[in-house]
Structure 1
Amino acid sequence: MATYNGEKYILEQLDSLRDQTYVPDEVIICDDCSTDNTLALLKKYIKNNNMKNWKVEQNINNIGWKKTFWNLLQQAKNEFIFLSDQDDIWDSNKLMFMRDWMLKYINIDLLASDYSPFYSNGNKLSSKVSFQKAKIKKLQFQDNFLKVTRPGCSFVIRKKLVTESNDLWTQNQPHDFTLWNAALLSGKAYLVDQSLISWRIHNGSADFSKKYSMLSLILHPVQKSLELLDKKIPFIDFHISFLSNCMSCINISFYNEISLHYLLFTIRKQYLISHDITLFFKTIMRYYRCYT
């Protein structure tokens, strides 16, 4: 778990981890220099509940959640690794169910569950599907590459996926984006149709996207356009860096598809910066080749 200024919701998440029917072998938490009481709450919680296999540390400097999560992945010692956000609520059977599935299906490197979104004032939600009725399906590369349809907090992965993903990751990439796509490249990404997380939606979340009203776009077109551009460029950049790293790997699967996506994102970035109409039509053509 990576934390940053999470004092408002973190105790609920810690309770849901402590109340798991399968006790985790280790819980590693790293705080990214919070300016609120998050670190103090973590230390107090671990001490008061005598959580001997839990440890909390703090970065020397604020390095951001992407790098913090990747550093944590390197520290994990055990075969199965679960990723946790600081503000969700886990079903009490999440660890047990997903661990059992990973033991049963040894060809899975990444298994993602469904989740139940709720807003900050919403009720706690729990799984409605039994372990026996849940269905697991393999995620097909062509349908899911670069489209991370489940958050990292829904993942369980094998430790070896981290090792295999290290050459593909750069500091601008979200950890779940890299792990998801690395598992797709090896044909070992799967989804189980069971909700095991109550996924909190709020303005402070790293996944929260600011929406603009039509009126604001009309009244401040240049300002809003520049703000949108500032968001799109980093998004495109981490796709480009990931695809470039994939192309440099020896014997990488789906090389042609990867190179097509790489060209699409590089041309799209050039167009967003220059607004050259020729690049616009090239982007359309590349998009058509990638997704049809």
Structure 2
Amino acid sequence: MNTMTIGCALTTYNSNAYLEQQLETLVNQLRPFDEVIIVDDASTNDTVQRLNRFIADHQLENWKVFRHEQNQGFIQTFQDALFHSSSDLIFLCDHDDLWYPQKTKVMTEQFVLQPQLQVLACSFDLVDAKGEQIQDELMKNRANHNLIHRSVNPGQLNEMFVQDILRYNFAPGCTIALKKEIAQEYLDLIHQQAQMANQEENNILSLPHDWAISILGAVNGGLYYLDQPLMGYRQHEHNTLGMTRRHDYADRLKAAKLEAKQKQALAYIMDQKGSDQQKAQTQQVKDLYVKRANALENKNLFSLTWMLLTTWPQGMFLTFGLDLKTTLFSFVGR
């Protein structure tokens, strides 16, 4: 597949001053895109006009813009971008980051050299609103800004497994490239679930698209991480998803309920695609997160303490430690 076509699936919503900077980095890729699909999620500002102006100014005939009439949310919007994509290899893209010129070239070469790859994430640099790099501290036995909860081979291609991504997503979606076959597998699962009478508990659309895609890649033995920073992942006040932790009880409870729903969605995907061992692993994680959400809602300090102690060896002390801390503070009004 050394002649594979590559495309970009970009979504926008009320984009700010970072939009044109991101678009310029896409134009300046050393391996140019064969197509760029942009889906705007019913922006109420001038985002679509700016997109069309940029496309016209740069004479980008292979760039296409689609617009939602009503706001659908970022998961649905990326799903639609994947639906409209026809390239062999699809790069997921946000509207406010900075891609380094070699990103598409380096990642495409990995797919050519390693035919087993189905989903590949690269590393990234954290950058601030001005595009300047933010330093962060890498914890022991962690990788990719602590998103991967084990060590990896530095600077190399590393296979990722189902157990690596059941509890936490291991990479931002904007770092991911995937083969068209995986995109279609994801879209087929969503279509399949839409036909079900009772789909609320395991709704895949509660799970970020990139996480679901990574799970499918891992189940198929084709999920990999390239330990090379190929983009700047911008952190600012308008991020849909960033790199921050929640230190307020109400915020953690809301997040815990969502994470429990996400694990139920993971269990649904695994029931359709996974081995018996993978299904059992996922069921255990789902049960833990449902129990966690219930314990937080009921402010059950005993259950939260027990979960903290029993999950400590799994590297989840920060999650359950903050759960316990914020619950304790909620009793004293802090």
Calculate the TM-score normalised by the size of structure 1. Answer: 0.84
Q: Give the 3-state SS of the residue equivalent to 2:66 in structure 1.
A: strand
Name the CA distance, whole Å, in 1 between partners of 2:163 and 2:258.
24
Name the CA distance, whole Å, in 2 between partners of 1:59 and 1:87.
19
Deviations 1:195-231 (A, max 9, x none): 1101111010112366677xxxxxxxxxx42233223
Aligned to 1:121: 130
Pair 1:291–1:165, CA change in 2 (3 A): farther
- Report if aligned partners of 1:112, 1:154 keep a CA contact under 8 Å in 2: yes
Aligned to 2:164: 143
- Report if aligned partners of 1:111, 1:157 keep a CA contact under 8 Å in 2: yes
Q: Give the 3-state SS of the residue equivalent to 1:12 in structure 2.
A: helix
Pair 1:61–1:88, CA change in 2 (3 A): same
- Report if aligned partners of 2:267, 2:279 keep a CA contact under 8 Å in 1: no
Q: Give the 3-state SS of the residue equivalent to 1:115 in structure 2.
A: strand
- Report if aligned partners of 1:260, 1:289 keep a CA contact under 8 Å in 2: no
Query: Is 2:189 the counterpart of 1:155?
Result: no
Name the CA distance, whole Å, in 2 between partners of 1:250 and 1:136.
24
- Count residues with an aligned counterpart: 275
Name the CA distance, whole Å, in 2 between partners of 1:72 and 1:97.
23
1:188 aligned partner, one-letter code = G
Query: Is 2:50 the counterpart of 1:26?
Result: no
Query: Is 2:207 the counterpart of 1:173?
Result: yes
- Report if aligned partners of 1:229, 1:272 keep a CA contact under 8 Å in 2: yes
Pair 1:33–1:287, CA change in 2 (3 A): same
Pair 1:144–1:170, CA change in 2 (3 A): closer
Aligned to 1:267: 291
- Report if aligned partners of 2:167, 2:285 keep a CA contact under 8 Å in 1: no
> Which of 114, 117, 131 is matched with 1:105 structurally?
114
1:266 aligned partner, one-letter code = V
Q: Give the 3-state SS of the residue equivalent to 1:39 in structure 2.
A: helix
Aligned to 2:15: 6
Q: Give the 3-state SS of the residue equivalent to 2:205 in structure 1.
A: coil
Structure 1: which 5+ residue stretches go unaligned? 126-132, 214-223
- Report if aligned partners of 2:125, 2:133 keep a CA contact under 8 Å in 1: no
Name the CA distance, whole Å, in 2 between partners of 1:15 and 1:2.
15
CA positional deviation for 1:56? 0.7
CA positional deviation for 1:48? 1.3
- Report if aligned partners of 2:207, 2:262 keep a CA contact under 8 Å in 1: yes
Name the CA distance, whole Å, in 1 between partners of 2:133 and 2:79.
29
Identical-residue share of aligned pairs (%) = 23
Pair 1:19–1:30, CA change in 2 (3 A): same
CA positional deviation for 1:285? 7.8
Name the CA distance, whole Å, in 2 between partners of 1:186 and 1:211.
31
Pair 1:211–1:105, CA change in 2 (3 A): closer
Pair 1:35–1:138, CA change in 2 (3 A): same
> Which of 238, 254, 257 is matched with 2:262 structurally?
238
- Report if aligned partners of 1:107, 1:188 keep a CA contact under 8 Å in 2: yes
- Report if aligned partners of 2:253, 2:293 keep a CA contact under 8 Å in 1: no
Name the CA distance, whole Å, in 2 between partners of 1:252 and 1:89.
41
Query: Is 2:288 the counterpart of 1:254?
Result: no
Aligned to 1:182: 216
> Which of 74, 79, 86 is matched with 1:77 structurally?
86
- Report if aligned partners of 2:166, 2:282 keep a CA contact under 8 Å in 1: no
1:92 aligned partner, one-letter code = P
Q: Give the 3-state SS of the residue equivalent to 1:99 in structure 2.
A: helix
Aligned to 1:129: none
Aligned to 1:198: 232
Query: Is 2:48 the counterpart of 1:39?
Result: yes
Name the CA distance, whole Å, in 2 between partners of 1:77 and 1:141.
27
Aligned to 2:60: 51
Query: Is 2:253 the counterpart of 1:229?
Result: yes
Pair 1:291–1:114, CA change in 2 (3 A): closer
Deviations 1:220-268 (A, max 9, x none): xxxx422332232123212222223423557565122111112112222
Name the CA distance, whole Å, in 2 between partners of 1:291 and 1:164.
31
